[in-house]
Amino acid sequence: MITVHADVVGSLLRPPELLGAHKQFAAGEITAAQFGDIEDHAVDEAIALQEKSGLEIVTDGEMRRQSFQSQMTVVVSGFG
């Protein structure tokens, strides 16, 4: 029997519903509370996927980050 070890170390792909919600929120079409509910659902789904896959350690999939490099651009100057 082959044993394989896997852990999630970062971002999961964002679901289409969350991608659409980003656009809707930026356009003022949904409220911050509505956007938060959609983010929460995406996080719940990311956790469920990892648990279903048998991972012992799970993450939120970084669903709440504005972009996958957003923290770096906040602390480093010169990005536009």
- Is residue 80's pLDDT more than 80? no
User: How confident is the model over 1-7, as a mean pLDDT?
Assistant: 79
Residues in contact with 35: Cβ distance below 8 Å, sequence separation at least 6, in sequence order: 21, 22, 24, 25
What does the alpha-carbon distance between residue 70 and residue 53 come to, in Å, rounded to a whole number? 28
CA–CA gap between residue 21 and residue 7 (Å, rounded): 28
Which pLDDT tens digit goes with each residue over 7-19? 667 789 999 999 9
Ranges of H-type helices in the chain: 16-26, 32-52, 70-75
Q: What is the pLDDT of residues 19-74, one digit of tens each?
A: 999 999 999 999 999 999 999 999 999 999 999 988 888 999 999 887 666 667 77
Closest Cα partner for 45 from 66, 59, 28? 59
